[in-house]
Amino acid sequence: MTGIGRASRWALIGLPFLWLALFFLLPMAIVAGISLGETTDAIPPYRPLLSISAGGIEEHLSLANYRLLAEGCLKAYRDSFGYAALATVLCLAIGYPIAFAIARARSRWRQTLLFFVMLPFWTSFLIRVYAWIAILQPTGFVNRLLRAAGIIDAPLPLLYNAFSLELGLVYSYLPFMILPLYASLSQLDDSLVEAAADLGARPWRSFLAIVLPLSLPGVAAGTLLVFIPAVGEFVIPDLLGGPNTLMIGKVLWQEFFDNVDWPAAAAVAMVLVAGLTVPLLVAQRFLERGRAA
Amino acid sequence: MTAARGATPFRAGALAFGFAFLYLPILVLVVYSFNRSRLVTVWAGFSVHWYGALAADARFRAAALTSLEIGIAAASAALVIGTCAGFAMARFARFRGRLIFGFLLMAPLVVPEVILGLSLLLLFVAAESVLGWPAGRGILTVTIAHATFAACFVAVLVRAQLARFDRTLEEAALDLGARPLTVLWRVTLPGIAPALVAGWLLAFTLSLDDLVVASFVSGPSATTLPMAVYSSVRIGVTPEINALATIFLGVVIALVSLAGWLMARQERRRGTASA
């Protein structure tokens, strides 16, 4: 703690701690509270959890929102986890060779290649997702190409279904998989691989025995960075998904904006947080360990 | 395939496929922003018509200004909060609540945006009814929300840079009689300047790019650029959005190249200073 006094130590910890407690932790507690409330036609559209009347303090807590959720949203909830899991696996399958190739490229190329992985991330996410509509729609690129080549007669249904949803998820989250994989793979000691080759291991064998196990921290970090946000994704199911591919993030949005049912939206959020708590705790462990290494 | 460095057919193929996938939509956006036709999929000749239409659209202009205002304020606040947090995590190995602190810094990086947005909105509504602040929702509430999650990204960058920072420089300055604050200002902060620049830019981009959180916590007085884009995309595909995306891309490439150039220049200077 060279040169940093006690007061500055408190300031450095205190400012971000207070900020996050106030604007991250406290809001979560409020969501939990309101999820137990009732909707009314008022501003704001929910009834206070406690009210003071002549008869004393009354509480209006109920699990009604959760009961409704269990009936109506189970499929969306299950599907969200399924779509996100599949997207994570696909990102891993596509991202691993790319990260590997970048990590093994000559050093003057590496920064440039990484820059081009990052570049799409710096441009509007919403607009990039929207671009897929023009590519996938019945009169879009892919269909016209396939028709011109004589492979199909009628346009393929590529848009507003599970295919386009999954494509959008993989497309949007791929850089978040590549970067931690690259971070792990670039630290790999070349001499280990060379030693394996000298001892007669075939390339695939040395990959499975050396490269893959040593890159597992990157695999774990990438998996969590893709999976957790993808479960609650709203923009992609909204723009590229169809009527049968509802995701929980969109359910929450609809409850809030279309039905103006804030307590129901809060209940959806709570269930989503509950489902993500374990992955979040795992994420913290892995990301901390990766940093320590 | 693991032994040598450099290109092999497998690696070149992986990269070609990966970049084709990442850049196909961007290429389509840029090319069709110069299309004369209203149809986004039929090429009808070169034209800059949609750039003119975009510039003449008062809705987009106002939204862009709102987004810039929020982005600059949120990125600056996030830089201060995130730098403090990055210092705390990098320099203080033990303090009470470090585990919770670490969790609070990590969670906003991955928690779905709908949850961040909804929870902050409910906080603002509750605070208004109890404290009378913030009065209504708009630029201020969006700025607070963006600063909150962007600060966590800044913290990651600052922490990583501090971990690489050579502490003997600070010790030398202290031994030579510099006061702690002078050391911070003249040695430590310049040393981590690349992370500070990158952090601010990242925070600014995150703010400029955010639709979901802003939709929740904004009010009728403040429509951000992504909100304006979203409402026009909902109505249908329009080439003006392509023009907007192309401008975005140009600005981002210019900014990132500038940052890269500044960093390379700093590295060179440091190289000649130490030689």
B212: domain CATH number is: 1.10.3720.10
Task: Indicate the SS3 state at residue A202.
Answer: coil
For residues B26 and B97, membership in a common domain is answered with no
Would you call A249 an interface residue with chain B, using a CB distance cutoff of 8 Å?
A: yes
Structure tokens at B77: 């606040």
Cross-chain CB nearest to A141 (options B41, B92, B151): B41
Cβ contact B108–A20 (<8 Å): yes
Cβ contact B148–A19 (<8 Å): yes
DSSP β-bridge partners for residue A270? none
The more confident residue out of B182 and B259 is: B182
Report CA torsion sign: B2, B3, B5, B7.
Answer: negative
Residue B137 lies inside a defined structural domain of this protein: yes
Structure tokens at B5: 């460095």
Cβ contact B107–A15 (<8 Å): no
For residues B43 and B158, membership in a common domain is answered with no
User: Which chain B residue is nearest to residue A175, measuring alpha carbons?
Assistant: B22
Instruction: Note the pLDDT tens digit of each residue in A218-268.
Output: 999 999 999 999 999 999 999 999 888 889 999 999 999 998 888 989 999
Do the Cβ atoms of A145 and A132 come closer than 8 Å?
A: no
For B:102-121, CB contacts with A below 8 A are 102-116, 118-120
Residue A53 above 70 pLDDT? no
User: Measured at the alpha carbon of residue A249, what is the angle toward residues B233 and A240, in degrees to the nearest 5?
Assistant: 40
* pLDDT value for A1: 44
Task: Indicate the SS3 state at residue A43.
Answer: coil
Residue B90 lies inside a defined structural domain of this protein: yes
For residues B51 and B65, membership in a common domain is answered with no
| Chain B CB contacts of A256 below 8 Å | 118, 216
Percentage of chain B with pLDDT > 90?
41
Q: How far apart are CA A231 and CA A257, in angstroms?
A: 20
Residue B130 lies inside a defined structural domain of this protein: yes
Identify each DSSP E strand in A48-95 by its residue range: 50-53, 56-59
Do the Cβ atoms of B150 and B202 come closer than 8 Å?
A: yes
How many CB atoms sit inside 10 A of residue B43's CB? 12
Q: How confident is the model at residue A50 (pLDDT cuts 50, 70, 90)?
A: low
Cβ contact B26–A131 (<8 Å): yes
Cross-chain CB nearest to A126 (options B41, B211, B253): B211
Residue B40 above 70 pLDDT? no
Cross-chain CB nearest to B237 (options A133, A144, A253): A133
Residues 6+ positions from B207 with CB-CB distance below 8 Å = B67, B70, B71, B74, B75, B146, B150
Would you call B212 an interface residue with chain A, using a CB distance cutoff of 8 Å?
A: yes
For residues B44 and B65, membership in a common domain is answered with no
For residues B199 and B65, membership in a common domain is answered with yes
* pLDDT value for A51: 65
Instruction: Note the pLDDT tens digit of each residue in A171-225.
Output: 999 999 999 999 999 888 888 888 888 888 888 888 888 888 989 989 999 999 9
Cross-chain CB nearest to B88 (options A16, A284, A291): A16
Would you call A172 an interface residue with chain B, using a CB distance cutoff of 8 Å?
A: no
User: Which chain A residue is nearest to residue B128, measuring alpha carbons?
Assistant: A44
Q: Which domain holds residue B41?
A: 22-56
Residue B72 lies inside a defined structural domain of this protein: yes
Residue A292 above 80 pLDDT? no
Give the closest residue to A97 by CA, choosing from B26, B24, B21.
B21
* pLDDT value for A84: 97
Instruction: Note the pLDDT tens digit of each residue in B1-11.
Output: 444 566 788 88
Residue B16 lies inside a defined structural domain of this protein: no
**Given phi > 0 = left and psi -120 to 50 = alpha, else beta, which region is A233?**
beta
Give the closest residue to A223 by CA, choosing from A267, A155, A283.
A283
Cβ contact A229–B123 (<8 Å): no
Cβ contact A126–B111 (<8 Å): no
Residue B92 lies inside a defined structural domain of this protein: yes
Residues 6+ positions from A249 with CB-CB distance below 8 Å = A80, A231, A232, A233, A234, A237, A272, B112, B113, B114
Domains of chain B: total:
2
Residues 6+ positions from B209 with CB-CB distance below 8 Å = A124, A125, A126, B226
For residues B29 and B70, membership in a common domain is answered with no
Residue A181: alpha-carbon gap to chain centroid: 16
Cβ contact A207–B14 (<8 Å): no
| Chain B CB contacts of A283 below 8 Å | 106, 110
Cβ contact B256–A115 (<8 Å): yes
* pLDDT value for A289: 62
Q: How far apart are CA B62 and CA B43, in angstroms?
A: 30
Task: Indicate the SS3 state at residue A57.
Answer: strand
Q: How confident is the model at residue B269 (pLDDT cuts 50, 70, 90)?
A: confident
* pLDDT value for B232: 86
DSSP codes of every residue in chain B: --SS-S--HHHHHHHHHHHHHHHHHHHHHHHHHTBSSSSSSS---B--HHHHHHHH-HHHHHHHHHHHHHHHHHHHHHHHHHHHHHHHHHH-S--TTHHHHHHHHHHHHHS-HHHHHHHHHHHHHHHHHHH--S-S-SHHHHHHHHHHHHHHHHHHHHHHHHHHS-HHHHHHHHHTT--HHHHIIIIIHHHTHHHHHHHHHHHHHHHHH--HHHHHH--TT---HHHHHHHHHHH---HHHHHHHHHHHHHHHHHHHHHHHHHHHHHHHHHHHH-
Q: How far apart are CA B61 and CA B44, in angstroms?
A: 27
Cβ contact B119–A27 (<8 Å): yes
Best of B11, B19, B35, B115 to disrupt the A interface (most A CBs within 10 Å) is B115
Secondary structure element (H or E) that encloses residue A104, with its range: helix A74-104
How many CB atoms sit inside 10 A of residue B179's CB? 11
| Chain A CB contacts of B88 below 8 Å | 12-13, 16
Do the Cβ atoms of A137 and B41 come closer than 8 Å?
A: yes
Q: Lowest-pLDDT range, A29-43, B125-139, B196-210? A: A29-43
For residues B65 and B39, membership in a common domain is answered with no
User: Which chain A residue is nearest to residue B28, measuring alpha carbons?
Assistant: A131
Cβ contact B205–A122 (<8 Å): yes
| Chain B CB contacts of A3 below 8 Å | 170, 174, 180, 183-184
Would you call A25 an interface residue with chain B, using a CB distance cutoff of 8 Å?
A: yes
Would you call B217 an interface residue with chain A, using a CB distance cutoff of 8 Å?
A: no
Cβ contact A284–B184 (<8 Å): no
For residues B33 and B151, membership in a common domain is answered with no
Q: How far apart are CA B152 and CA B196, in angstroms?
A: 13
A205–chain B nearest CA distance, Å: 10
Q: How confident is the model at residue B272 (pLDDT cuts 50, 70, 90)?
A: low
| Chain A CB contacts of B226 below 8 Å | 124, 126
DSSP β-bridge partners for residue A52? A57
Q: How far apart are CA A288 and CA A86, in angstroms?
A: 26
For residues B47 and B102, membership in a common domain is answered with no
Q: Which domains are seen in chain A, by residue range?
A: 69-292 (1.10.3720.10)
Task: Indicate the SS3 state at residue A12.
Answer: helix
Q: Which residues of A91-100 are buried (b: 16+ CB within 10 A; e: fewer)?
A: bbebbbbbbb
Would you call B69 an interface residue with chain A, using a CB distance cutoff of 8 Å?
A: no
Q: How far apart are CA B260 and CA A160, in angstroms?
A: 39
Residue B32 lies inside a defined structural domain of this protein: yes
How many CB atoms sit inside 10 A of residue A167's CB? 20
Structure tokens at A52: 């003071």
For residues B154 and B86, membership in a common domain is answered with yes
Task: Indicate the SS3 state at residue A178.
Answer: helix
* pLDDT value for A291: 52
Question: N- to C-terminal Cα distance for chain B?
Answer: 39
Residue B249 lies inside a defined structural domain of this protein: no
For residues B139 and B44, membership in a common domain is answered with no
For residues B30 and B155, membership in a common domain is answered with no
